[in-house]
Amino acid sequence: MKFILPDGDAWQEVTIRDGENGDVIVEMQSKEDVSIILNENKKAQKGPRQTMGKGTQTSQYKLGQISALKTHQLMQQGIFYDDKRLRKWFADLDNELWRTMHKKRMSNAV
């Protein structure tokens, strides 16, 4: 038996099945539509740098925007609360879609 439970912008897929010894097995999988976040990030990458304040705070800028499930995943990996590791994660070109700033590729030309 499979249920889908809405949870804000995400949903939970719950599967209930019989186990080998007559046990009941409940499997839960979280899913989230991140297309809106990724589209907003693409637009932001094409625009100017988004600063987080005025005056002395202009050096703080919005590096990226991630979904709730991606945040949870990064927390489980110990990345989210470690500033250096989180910046490194955002700097990885594999995670470019989560960035709100365009990352310039470094050339090897001399």
50 and 28: one domain?
no
Query: How many Å apart are CA 49 and CA 15, to the nearest integer?
Result: 44
- The answer to whether residue 108 is domain-embedded is no
Which is nearest to 96 in space by CA: 31, 38, 50?
38
Task: Give the other-Cβ count within 10 Å of 34's Cβ.
Answer: 19
Residue 4 is part of which domain span? 1-32
Contact call for residues 77 and 86 (beta carbons, < 8 A): no
**pLDDT above 70 as % of the chain:** 80
pTM over 0.75: no
Residues 16-60 have pLDDT tens digits of 889 888 899 888 888 888 888 999 999 988 887 776 666 665 567
Query: How many Å apart are CA 88 and CA 82, to the nearest integer?
Result: 10
Residue 110 in this model has a pLDDT that exceeds 50: no
Residue 104 in this model has a pLDDT that exceeds 70: no
71 and 96: one domain?
yes
- Structural domains of the chain, count: 2
Give the confidence band of 77 by pLDDT, cuts at 50, 70, 90.
Answer: very high
